[in-house]
């Protein structure tokens, strides 16, 4: 199976569980390209919400798939 497709499937499962950050995606899905995969999912018709999160003085995006 294509690596990108398997990453997308893994990310879809993770996004359905709740808010997911890049670090979550790295640990659970093995990808450092969450924003790229989310962009591809949106292009394919999925509705993915995003929000800015701040922790330890750093800001980053978190994503969630709308059911």
State how far the Cα of 15 lies from the Cα of 29, in Å rounded to an integer.
Answer: 11
- pLDDT tens digit string along 10-62? 999 999 999 999 999 999 999 999 999 999 999 999 999 999 999 999 999 99
Query: Which two structure tokens, joined as six digits, stand for 16?
Result: 């359905």
Q: Which CATH number fits domain 3-65: 3.60.9.10, 1.10.10.10, 3.40.640.10, 1.10.150.120?
A: 1.10.10.10
Burial of 28 (0-12, 13-18, 19+ CB in 10 A): middle
Query: Which two structure tokens, joined as six digits, stand for 24?
Result: 């979550």
Q: What is the pTM of this model?
A: 0.85
DSSP letters, 38-56, are HHHHHHTT--EEEEEEEET
């Amino acid at each position: 199976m294509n690596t990108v497709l398997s990453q997308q499937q893994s990310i879809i499962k993770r996004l359905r569980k709740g808010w997911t950050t890049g670090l979550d995606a790295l640990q659970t899905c093995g990808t450092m390209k969450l924003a790229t995969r989310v962009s591809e999912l949106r292009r394919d018709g999925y509705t993915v919400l995003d929000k800015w999160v701040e922790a330890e003085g750093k800001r980053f995006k978190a994503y969630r798939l709308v059911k």
